[in-house]
A and B are shown apart, each in its own frame.
Chain A
Amino acid sequence: MNKNWLKQNTFHYSEFKDIDRLVKEKTRKNLSIALCLPTLNEEKTIAKEILIMKSELMTRYPLLDELIVIDSGSTDNTRKIAEDYGAEVYKADDILPNLEVFKGKGENLWKALYVTKSDIIVYLDADIKNIHHRFVYALVGPLLLSDNIKFSKAFYDRPIATGKSKIRPTGGGRVTELVIRPMFSLFFPELTQIMQPLSGEYAGFREIFEKIPFPIGYGVETSMILDIYEKWGLDVMAQVDLVKRIHRNQDTKALGRMAFIILKTFCNRIEKLGLVNINRDLFNKMIQYNLVKNEYQPDIFKIEGVERPPIVEIAEYREKFNIQDL
């Protein structure tokens, strides 16, 4: 196990505060950067994310070249607000229309690779209440200033907004601690050095993202880490402390469903890698129970576990980016 990784590849956002330096490095290396926000009914938070990134990283400092929103079919005003504040907005279903349509965050991230042109893609969840431009510049910092790092991941304290305008100072990360970390400890101890493998904020080079598959749903973060680790090793990854991210707390049942998807993705990966042999197909239903009028009734949550192939294998993508051979 490479124990030095934690020391060498863990950064604090303040190390990249000199945005001017990042812009110069970007220009010197002739790189471009896109920010992608996957959305589904995010009208409460989307405007703030867009305007802060535009103001700080496009108008003040030309660090970002593209700012796109890929929407899964919001029924609120998310798309209109995003357009009003100047983002390029796409409906996921309209991208690569010849392919079968799926819904999910991973699907949006995968399709973002097709609609953006930039060399580096930054993915941020669109529900960050305390959004700050450090969420972007700190993630691209290691990619621009190092020649080896190709993928960077955020970690932070996770205060929980508990409603009624109050914030509880600590908490969160339950799926990480109860599911992912035990699994990493069992199969990939090196990866336990990644503080928050499930964080929804990460950045990487197109050359990495285009060569890995994307599960369409919650499993995308888990599979991404496992695939990058398997193909290029831990040293191409970095993690950046973004200090604090305020998010809406999810109830235990919702986290249970998330854990189910992540475990399924994990099991598929470790089987594919030959680390375990699962002698039967895994079920694709998460079953939870509710007590209704003194009777327990099952609440069944079905997950197909669809995965998009590496986008470089898609003909339209190869044509757009003029890629001849795989």
Chain B
Amino acid sequence: MQKSQTVQVTNMDTYIDQLPAFAETIKSIKEIIIANIVFIGQVPSPTFKEKKRTSIFMERLSEAQVDECTTDGYRNPIGIISGTSKTKPPIFIVAHLDTHFSRDVDHNFTVKEDAIIGAGILDNSVGVGVLASLPEIFRKLDLRFESDIVLAGVIQSLGKGNLRGVRHLLKTWSTPIRGALCIEGGEIGRLNYYSDGMIRAEIDCTMSTNSRWEQRFRPNAILILNEVINQILKLRLPQRPRARVIFGKISGGYKHGIIAYDAKLGFEIQSDSDKMVKTIYNDIQDIINGISHENSVGLTMKTISNLRPSKLRYNHPLIKNTTAVMEKLDIKPISEPSESELSIFLSRKIPAITLGITHGENYHLENAKMEIEPMFKGIAHIIGVIMAIDRGVCDE
């Protein structure tokens, strides 16, 4: 294999200065990276049904000749690239394997001159494809690390998956972890280092089908949920601690001329205060109890997942170094809370951040589109952060 440059890691500036050149070298193997994105991303992988994508991911890692390729007890696929040090803890790089799309959606991607289009490409086939390409990229850049690099495609992250894959991976990992990097398809520039507290829940409204009312006087499940929404909107949410309720999903009814006998509302409560999340949750529970009683309807709230707030402090060396890496590559950092794998690392006191790889549009639609050109810079900044962690920025 052609060696492009050997990295002598001596001080912060020397490796940061090499990052723009890294982007060019990474681009020279673009067909390998895109092939990985396509091979993995074209395999449907709805949450709880990631088995096939897991196999392809492992096949690609094994083709890339990682030192170890296995699954943990929860079937999260993992590749390990051995480090030069026997004492330094491993660095984790993770990307979630599941997508929002069911199996019957066409997952065949269209590759254009400057973009790849297809279901789930941004969330998170790019992330997983790049993860599988890292061994080849390290070889191309002639990079060796002191720490073992653990490449983990985690399953059951989204929605009802409730981050089970990464939770299990960390729960059963027996040794300390030096630092972690979560990678997502987009947007390049995101620098997530804190997670809000969150409860994700669903409210179900159901009517008995053999109700004593005549059909035209039966309460309407959709209108009941409408009332629930109105009362939640009347809650006075504080500015500090930050708090909000996001209504993300709604469904219900049978057909146009029939009063809806069931309806479902999906929402999240988010706040940087765990206490505030719980308070709002209890308020919503009271609203539901009241409306249920007043209208004699079945109204239940079910928690799908929850997270406690966690964060790295802004002046943590990992954040400072990541910002420097981004600036070197002309990437403008944008920080927002992220309720993802990141939360699980941070809640276990493992320094971690989430980065995005490229720009895109139509994120969660079947015609989601990722831009190819920014991806090389996106990968370069991921490499820069791995190098920073390997040089000890998380070893406080």
B-binding residues in A (CB < 8 A): 43-45, 47-48, 50-52, 54-56, 59-60, 77, 80-81, 84-86, 129-130, 132, 161, 165-167, 246
Contacts and interface: CB of A to CB of B under 8 A. Distances in A.
A32 to B, nearest CB: 21
The 10 A-B pairs of least Cβ separation, nearest first, read A55-B35, A47-B111, A55-B31, A51-B31, A165-B106, A48-B111, A129-B108, A54-B31, A55-B32, A165-B366
A80 B113 contact: yes
Nearest to A165: B106
Contacts of A47: 111-113
A167 B31 contact: no
A77 B113 contact: yes
A217 B113 CA distance: 29
B31 A86 contact: yes
A220 B111 CA distance: 29
A47 B31 CA distance: 10
Given A48-B38, A52-B38, A59-B32, A166 B105 contact: yes
A177 to B, nearest CB: 25
A167 B104 contact: yes
B110 A45 contact: yes
A56 B32 CA distance: 8
B108 A130 contact: yes
Contact of B34 (A45, A51, A161): A51
B29 A59 contact: yes
B92 interface: no
B118 to A, nearest CB: 9
Contacts of A52: 31, 35, 38-39
B362 interface: no
Contacts of B106: 161, 165-167
Interface in B66-124: 104-106, 108-113, 119
A81 B105 contact: no
A52 to B, nearest CB: 5
Given A47-B112, A59-B29, A165 B119 contact: yes
Contacts of A161: 106, 108
Interface in B1-46: 29-32, 34-35, 38-39, 42
18 contacts: A43-B112, A45-B110, A48-B38, A48-B109, A51-B31, A52-B39, A59-B32, A60-B63, A81-B113, A84-B113, A85-B31, A130-B108, A132-B39, A161-B106, A165-B119, A165-B366, A167-B104, A246-B108
A84 B108 CA distance: 21
A18 to B, nearest CB: 12
Contact of B104 (A44, A45, A166): A166
A61 to B, nearest CB: 10
Nearest to B64: A60
Interface residues of B, number: 21
Nearest to A54: B31
Nearest to B112: A47
A236 B29 CA distance: 38
Given A165-B105, A165-B119, A246-B108, 11 more contacts: A48-B111, A50-B31, A51-B34, A55-B31, A55-B35, A56-B35, A80-B113, A81-B112, A81-B113, A165-B106, A165-B366
Nearest to B29: A59
A47 B117 CA distance: 12
Interface string B363-396: 0001000000000000000000000000000000
Contacts of B32: 55, 59-60
A46 to B, nearest CB: 9
Most B CB atoms within 10 A — which of A48, A59, A85? A48
Contact of A55 (B34, B112, B119, B366): B34
Contacts of A167: 104, 106
Contacts of A129: 108
Nearest to A50: B31
Nearest to B367: A165
Contacts of A56: 35
Nearest to A85: B31
Contacts of A85: 31
Contacts of A165: 105-106, 119, 366
Nearest to B114: A84
Nearest to B119: A165
Which of A50, A54, A59, A165: most chain B Cβ within 10 A? A165
Interface in B155-193: none
B42 A130 contact: yes
Contacts of B31: 50-52, 54-55, 59, 85-86
Contacts of A166: 104-106
B14 to A, nearest CB: 29
Nearest to B117: A44
Contacts of B105: 165-166
A161 B113 CA distance: 23
A130 B35 CA distance: 12
Nearest to B42: A130
Contacts of B63: 60
A80 B114 CA distance: 12
B141 to A, nearest CB: 16
A51 B42 CA distance: 15
Contacts of B29: 59
A307 to B, nearest CB: 35
A51 B35 contact: yes
A50 B111 CA distance: 10
